[in-house]
A and B are shown apart, each in its own frame.
Chain A
């Protein structure tokens, strides 16, 4: 069964820490995405990547960066965590053909204290 794996289900970090959220997919998908999900706001796109070493800003990139050194792995980095980054983070991937939807990971619930 194909899958997108997020390394942590729950994380608690302190304000100012550098935080790494890891996402790995085993489907050889070209495209990978990071969303955050907050009640009443739905899913908001943070960053996405169409290829290795390629990244593009989504709708809310401030305070985040990403890394894609290998096709299967897409990392989200919180340079200096803040309490307003407490959220559910979802990783997704999709192949290039637009008829496909996304495959999502199980999510990482991050709490910044």
Chain B
């Protein structure tokens, strides 16, 4: 079965410092991996995805993520955090294969707090 783990409920970082939000996954076959961000009382917004190719994926708002197949991880990173990055972040995985349909499986989410 597909699953996603986000081991940290909350990540705190000072403005200007690099940030990392962790994600590990479990899936049979090749994964499609996604990061979404949610601001208070809003829906989820797409940040970036890994489908195939370069393991380092660049996305919106200066975020990037590194796919590591051996560690089954897809950590979200940003070189210099902004206060406006404070939000709830979700990692999601979709497995390749007709038996999985088009469903994404989401992690529980990680709250990112950036302090000035």
CB-based A-B contact count at 8 angstroms = 54
Q: Let me know if A48 and B43 touch, CB within 8 A.
A: no
Q: Which residues of B contact A41 (CB under 8 A)?
A: 108
Q: Let me know if B44 and A90 touch, CB within 8 A.
A: yes
Main secondary structure of the interface of A (DSSP, over half): strand
Q: Which residue of B lies closest to A104 (CB)?
A: B43
Q: Let me know if B42 and A102 touch, CB within 8 A.
A: no
Within 8 A of B (CB), among A56-75: none
| Chain B residue total in the interface (Cβ 8 A) | 24
Given contact pairs A40-B108, A42-B107, A101 touches B34 in the complex (Cβ within 8 A): yes
Main secondary structure of the interface of B (DSSP, over half): loop
Within 8 A of B (CB), among A66-100: 88, 90, 92, 94, 96, 98-99
Q: Let me know if A101 and B46 touch, CB within 8 A.
A: yes
Complex CA distance for A96 and B107, rounded to whole angstroms: 22
Q: Which residue of B lies closest to A3 (CB)?
A: B43
Mark interface residues in B9-24 (1 if CB within 8 Å of A CB, else 0).
1000000000000000
Q: Let me know if A101 and B104 touch, CB within 8 A.
A: yes
Nearest chain B CB to A37's CB is how many angstroms away? 8
B113 within 8 A of A: no
Q: Which residue of B lies closest to A93 (CB)?
A: B102
Nearest chain B CB to A107's CB is how many angstroms away? 5
Partner of A105, one of B43, B94, B104, B106: B43
Q: Let me know if A98 and B32 touch, CB within 8 A.
A: yes
Complex CA distance for A94 and B49, rounded to whole angstroms: 14
Q: Which residues of A contact B43 (CB under 8 A)?
A: 4, 6, 90, 104-107
Q: Let me know if B109 and A98 touch, CB within 8 A.
A: no
Q: Which residues of A contact B45 (CB under 8 A)?
A: 104
Given contact pairs A42-B106, A42-B107, A101 touches B96 in the complex (Cβ within 8 A): no
* Contacts A9-B41, A103-B46 supplied; 5 other A-B pairs, CB < 8 Å: A33-B103, A40-B9, A41-B108, A42-B107, A101-B104
